[in-house]
Amino acid sequence: MNEIDQLRNKTLQEINAWCYKRASHLSITGHDKAAQALTEEHMELLQNVNPENLLWVGT
């Protein structure tokens, strides 16, 4: 994996971590349906992503 793909992979891991943290917060604050929706929709996508095949736009 080249340097750019490593950076992309790191970014995806950070997004993944944010999603878990957000789902946890939603669950703790009583928003179980929102936490479940976040987990089901976003986590499934993140787990099946190949960083080499994504379109990345610089900021």
- Per-residue pLDDT tens digits for 22-40: 999 999 999 999 999 888 8
Rounded to two decimals, the pTM is 0.69
Q: What pLDDT does 57 receive?
A: 63
- 58 pLDDT band (50/70/90 cuts)? low
- For the residues of 1-59, what is the DSSP string, one character each? --HHHHHHHHHHHHHHHHHHHHHHHHHHTT-HHHHHHHIIIIIHHHHT--GGGS-----
